[in-house]
């Protein structure tokens, strides 16, 4: 049972770490580095890192509080990204309406 968990986790963990490295290299060089984009890239990195750590937390297995904490970080980061995106959208619409009228 323990070897099956390791044989399942090692290839997926390696693929997740490679994906995380590629994702970080892609997102770390924004074309428009304003405050919103930088905040979005940091939160996206936290979210993807948390999800990539999930297979490693599965190997640990007995410490469910670590797995729950890692996954909660991913979900909270996604929630903050969506809230920030909504507030940024509202602010830009308000500025557009203010200058167009």
* 34-69 pLDDT per residue, tens: 888 888 889 999 999 988 888 888 777 767 788 888
Residue in 48, 38, 61, 57 with CA at minimum distance from that of residue 17: 48
Question: What are the C-alpha distances in Å from 95 to residues 61, 69, 86?
Answer: 50, 38, 14
pLDDT of residue 3: 80
pTM for the predicted model, two decimal places: 0.76
Q: How many helices (H) and strands (E) does the chain have?
A: 4, 0
> What pLDDT sits at residue 83?
94
pLDDT at 70: 86
Residue 1 pLDDT > 70: no
């Amino acid at each position: 049972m323990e070897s099956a968990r390791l044989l399942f986790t090692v290839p997926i963990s390696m693929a997740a770490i490679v994906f995380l490295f590629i994702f970080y290299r892609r997102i770390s060089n924004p074309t428009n580095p304003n405050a919103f984009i930088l905040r979005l890239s940091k939160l996206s990195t936290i979210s993807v890192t948390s999800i990539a750590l999930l297979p490693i937390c599965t190997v640990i297995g007995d410490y469910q509080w670590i797995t729950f904490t890692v996954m909660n970080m991913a979900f909270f980061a996604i929630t903050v990204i969506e809230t920030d995106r909504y507030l940024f959208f509202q602010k830009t619409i308000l500025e557009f309406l203010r200058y167009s009228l």
